[in-house]
Structure 1
Amino acid sequence: MKPRERFAALSEGFDRKLLAPMISGAILNPVNSSIISVSLVPIGAAFGAPPTATAWLVSALYLATAVGQPVAGKLIDVHGPRRLFLGASVLVGLAGILGMLAPDLGVLIVARVLLGFGTCAGYPAAMRMIRDEAERTGKDSPTAVLTVLAMATQTIAVIGPPLGGLLIGLGGWRATLGVNIPFAILAFVLGARRIPATARKTTNRPNLDFLGMALFAGMLVSLLLFLMHPSATDWYLPLITVVAAIAFVLRELRSTEPFIDVRMLAGNRPLVATYARALLAYIVSYAFLYGYTQWLEDGRGLTAAQAGLIQLPVFATAVVVSGLTGRRKEVRAKLGAGALCQILACALMLVLWPESGIWLLVTIALIFGITQGLMSLALQNSVYHQADPDSIGTSAGLLRTFSYLGAIIASAAQGGFYGQHADTGGLHQLATFLLVMGGLLLLITLADRKLGRTTN
């Protein structure tokens, strides 16, 4: 059977014309998350900024996206994916232009914030389209489509560093921002031509819970600002977080059309456990993506292009692993194996030194590639099957929110352990912290017996 025929059989009637816009939108965030990893050092050199300052380029995108993803997901659940998808694509293009022209680090951070908001709609829109197609065809589990989406997002995330190294070599670090312009144009054109306008399921106009969204945003912003730079002088930020969280829960309990149905979420323990696993998994993944890459440049002395190439085995391994395991239903086994690989890779990071051979650097990348191929697919498919079908966009957005919260914690840990330079001592401290996170992930995965009944 040819690959196209095999996909058609596994996707069970899914409209294949939707694949291109789905993928073009969903990859915008991971490519911008990863491509910056090799740009931090040259950007810091260009503006005379230390790693603690350039870390805001990472944190700014995740701060905007962590807040914006579930909001975009809710709007997509209510209005359908088309309008949000197209508007977000335009914002990505504008952010790319601003980033290319940024005269200083402050403007560049603003561009990354816009980029964060612009990339919010792609993934929730893709999950909404998959769910809508499942309802249209009467087939609940389009395994091949979910696998393709996971492979696309994780592939582009790992391609980001070598692509960034290539772009820096050709046009400097500004090219890593400018690449968003053709990406945004492609996504807009594909979305305009192929994403259908979605009719509302009810004749009554839904009431959006703007107050709930505002309280949720205030809760996350104050929490993430504190996590970025924990300090006793910022004691008021955790206090704001707690007050906003209490107000948010009370608001959602009283709302007839809540932004996030906290009653349903509290009653869906498997979904909450999936979010917790996503948090721990992505703390390790993003600390590796940024912390390890910066050490390759600062501690090991590689160029940005060389550091990007060292990350290339992660891409190849992740694609192979996803392709081999995409049709297998053992979510618990995938998560357990992924956690074990994280632990092994972090243990190997403890023996790295500036003189370490390339073979060891590549070995670590290969092991992380296995983790990447297993974790992303298993977490995404868990949410697809555990979430309420009517709120799949919001639930998918929350998955990304917990992922970005993990990225923020990873960034804060990286800044704390590295200080002014990404040296080997800081790398070893970071690896020890990541070993603890990987161990917790393995424990809660093995302890969750309900995972055995969750299949993809």
Structure 2
Amino acid sequence: MTPPADRSRPVSAAVAALSLGTLLNPLNSSMIAVALVPLQRDFDVDVTTVTWVVTAFYLASAAGQPLMGRLADRFGPRRLFLFGMLVVALACALTPFATSFAAVCLGRVALAIGTAPAFPSAIAMLRSLSSASQVGTPRLLGRIQIANTAGAAVGPVLGGALVTFLGWQAIFWVNVPLAALAFAGVWIAAPRDAERERTPLSRTLIESDIPGILLFIATLTSLLVFLLDLHPQPLWWLLPVAVLAGAGFVWRELRTRTPFLDLRLLAANRRLMTIYLCFAIFNIVYYSAFFGLPQYLQSHGGYSAGIAGLLMFPLAAVTTVVTPFAARMIERVGLRPTLLGGAGALIAGAALLAVGAASTASWVVLLLTAALGVPYAVVSIAMNQALYASARPEDSGVAAGIFQTSRYVGAIIATTLLGLLFSAGTTPGSWLTAVSVASALAVVHLVLLVFSRPRSGGRRDGGGAEAAAG
């Protein structure tokens, strides 16, 4: 229970600080795109090598989110958030002085690890913040979702300005004051973690299931690297590595008394499993458009990289505007109707992208990207609320971490599909094929939600909405 003294703290300041911390991951995920050419030039590496500065961040984020979520559940979300912001500040203060490209990649890994606790910690603190403020969790989730969207939207613009005037080093330095502000806000305003039993270090290490964590990371990393390098030449040897590590992970988690992931409980929670699957499929559809459309506009439409990026801006802008309304929609009509409505809009938005095969006029592209922003806003906030309502309170951190991993898996699968579909050329025909695949997956997403089983939730905690699909 939140201590009485903490109830008087400014909850809005705490949510703002948590939102600032959560936007650092999407901000750095998108901001690095404009720094690839300067990094390639300064460290004299080829195009393939320089992309590892992106890949390393994705892999560390995908593996780090569930790990940091579990640590937040064990040691307290506030502590882990503060620890993460310290790691971000330290990594971003030192990486600009790197003398090798490998050191830059290590700095990106440290940055990913530092930003990883933010979202799981924010989700874990929502109940106490909602209780203290009497504000429904959909609205609090909406504010965090807006921050995530804003981070991804302003990343290329902010990164372009920083790289142009201050060099690639500035995209690291800018994180230092942002992390410091997030740290200060959470330190001052966020509810303190509940008291936990003091345990010896040896017992803590045993209960943390280090072997399970290492096997989980090995499974996920080998599988994701295989998907990332599927085109043009697959690294087939990674498949048996992933299978063996995965089998070892399952064996370990089913036998140990304190598993990193309680697979039995996870398998029994069908709602949560459906949420992860639906969210991964949703992100395949979204990132197929987010990554595919700029490539198509540049290769077929003849737009420059800068203009193609600007044409994508309505997607993020509309998402930012619509998200607060989507949060209120959950409170008024319920979670399940909102999920189904967003899923239906996702099908329509994906299908509309086929118009791009007939015309790539700027006004057409602007309308298409704006239309896709509506379902992205609605589905994102609804899936976040479904996750929150379906996870056990004591597992909310790790549940949120796996949720974010589902996002990265969806993004990586989308990138792989686009690489295969565009391998023979980015033409109207290949674009129609990509749109058809995305539209079909959007239909699958809706079908899964239709056949799900909702659960009723409380008014303040769930916004009067059904809890989740399952």
| Category of TM-score, reference length = shorter chain | 0.7 to 0.9
Q: 1:259 offset after TM fit, Å?
A: 1.2
Matching of residue 155 in structure 1 with residue 150 in structure 2? yes
Structure 2 portions without partners, runs of 5+: 1-6, 457-464
My pick for the range that moved more, 85-94 or 279-288, is 85-94
- Are the structure 2 counterparts of residues 292 and 169 from structure 1 closer, same or farther at C-alpha, using a change threshold of 3 Å? farther
Say if 2:84 and 2:116, in contact at 8 Å, map to a contact too: yes
Distance across 2 between alignment mates of 1:107 and 1:290: 27
Q: Give 2:462's aligned residue.
A: none
Say if 1:71 and 1:213, in contact at 8 Å, map to a contact too: yes
Q: Give 2:73's aligned residue.
A: 77
AA in 1 matched with 2:275? T
My pick for the range that moved more, 379-388 or 104-113, is 104-113
Q: Give 2:238's aligned residue.
A: 237
Q: Give 2:56's aligned residue.
A: 60
Q: 1:295 offset after TM fit, Å?
A: 3.9
TM-score, normalisation: structure 1: 0.85
Q: Deviations over 1:185-210 (max 9, x none)?
A: 32233334334552434455652111
Equivalent residue of 2:329, what SS?
Answer: coil
Distance across 1 between alignment mates of 2:134 and 2:256: 33
Say if 2:218 and 2:245, in contact at 8 Å, map to a contact too: yes
- How many residue pairs match? The answer is 444
Q: Give 1:273's aligned residue.
A: 274
RMSD of the alignment, in Å? 3.3
- Are the structure 2 counterparts of residues 12 and 199 from structure 1 closer, same or farther at C-alpha, using a change threshold of 3 Å? closer
- Are the structure 2 counterparts of residues 200 and 258 from structure 1 closer, same or farther at C-alpha, using a change threshold of 3 Å? farther
Q: Give 1:183's aligned residue.
A: 178
Say if 1:219 and 1:241, in contact at 8 Å, map to a contact too: yes
Matching of residue 92 in structure 1 with residue 92 in structure 2? no
AA in 1 matched with 2:143? V
Say if 1:220 and 1:241, in contact at 8 Å, map to a contact too: yes
AA in 2 matched with 1:162? V
My pick for the range that moved more, 72-81 or 195-204, is 195-204
Q: 1:381 offset after TM fit, Å?
A: 0.5
- Are the structure 2 counterparts of residues 174 and 17 from structure 1 closer, same or farther at C-alpha, using a change threshold of 3 Å? closer
Q: Give 1:371's aligned residue.
A: 375
Matching of residue 25 in structure 1 with residue 35 in structure 2? no
Distance across 2 between alignment mates of 1:286 and 1:58: 15
Matching of residue 214 in structure 1 with residue 214 in structure 2? yes
- Are the structure 2 counterparts of residues 337 and 179 from structure 1 closer, same or farther at C-alpha, using a change threshold of 3 Å? farther
Q: Deviations over 1:219-276 (max 9, x none)?
A: 1111111111137863332222222222222222222222111111111101100000
My pick for the range that moved more, 422-431 or 321-330, is 422-431
My pick for the range that moved more, 372-381 or 384-393, is 372-381
Q: Give 1:8's aligned residue.
A: none
- Are the structure 2 counterparts of residues 236 and 229 from structure 1 closer, same or farther at C-alpha, using a change threshold of 3 Å? same
Q: 1:283 offset after TM fit, Å?
A: 1.6
1:182-331 to structure 2, matched below 5 A, reads 182-195=177-190, 197-202=192-197, 204=199, 207-230=207-230, 234-329=235-330, 330-331=334-335
Say if 1:166 and 1:305, in contact at 8 Å, map to a contact too: no
Q: 1:307 offset after TM fit, Å?
A: 3.2
Equivalent residue of 1:326, what SS?
Answer: helix
Distance across 2 between alignment mates of 1:22 and 1:91: 16
- Are the structure 2 counterparts of residues 262 and 388 from structure 1 closer, same or farther at C-alpha, using a change threshold of 3 Å? same
- Are the structure 2 counterparts of residues 352 and 27 from structure 1 closer, same or farther at C-alpha, using a change threshold of 3 Å? same
- Are the structure 2 counterparts of residues 407 and 105 from structure 1 closer, same or farther at C-alpha, using a change threshold of 3 Å? farther
Task: Among all aligned residue pairs of Structure 1 and Structure 2, give the percentage whose two residues are the same amino acid.
Answer: 32
Q: Paired residue for 2:112, among 110, 116, 122?
A: 116
TM-score, normalisation: structure 2: 0.83
Say if 1:78 and 1:200, in contact at 8 Å, map to a contact too: no
Structure 1 portions without partners, runs of 5+: 1-10
Equivalent residue of 2:454, what SS?
Answer: helix
Say if 2:31 and 2:158, in contact at 8 Å, map to a contact too: yes
My pick for the range that moved more, 110-119 or 71-80, is 110-119
Say if 1:14 and 1:142, in contact at 8 Å, map to a contact too: no
